[in-house]
Each structure stands twice: as C-alpha cells, then as structure tokens.
Amino acid sequence: MRFLMQLLFAVACSLLSVTSWANWHIDSMVVFGDGESDNGNSLKLYDIPLSPYWRGRFSDGPVWDEYLAYSLGLIKNPPQKHPDYP
C-alpha cells in the first residue's frame, strides 16, 4: 500500500510539472449527439410539431456543447438543423 501511494504521488508530481500542456490550443470540437446535444435533426425523421421548440431543437435554449465552445473561444459553426427554422 505504501508503494502504491508513493507511486501515485510521483505520477501526480510529474503530471503537474509538465509545461507542454500549457501550449495546447483547442481549435475545434466534435460532438456526437445525444439528448443533451440535440440540434433538431430528429425533427426531420419524425413528424413532430414544430411550434413549441426553440430553433428546431428539443431544448429551450443553447445546450452544453454550445456553452463549452463559447467558453473555449471556438468559432461555432451552426449545427445542421431542420430547414423550416430560420
């Protein structure tokens, strides 16, 4: 047990000292959808009423991946959505 704790401590210290991580730049993000990242494409597949949904989605506003892209400073491409929505 003592060896394991020493090993974990050594690994943690070495990870904290890595300076190359500070040079990473994220320039894109790919989200493989689920219910939490809906962009409205399922409206094409099913006959779902269009009026109560925000911009062709099941959410009532932006979803988590849009907030993450904004906070990372990524240029957000609009998701592919139902053509009946502006």
4-44: pLDDT as tens digits? 888 888 877 776 666 556 667 777 777 776 665 565 566 66
In percent, how much of the chain has pLDDT > 90?
0
Q: Which pLDDT does position 66 carry in this prediction?
A: 79
Please, is 53 exposed, middle or buried when counting C-beta atoms within 10 Å of its C-beta (0-12, 13-18, 19+)?
Answer: middle
Q: Which pLDDT does position 71 carry in this prediction?
A: 82
- Residue 11 one-letter amino acid: V
The model's pTM is: 0.48
- pLDDT, mean of residues 54-76: 75
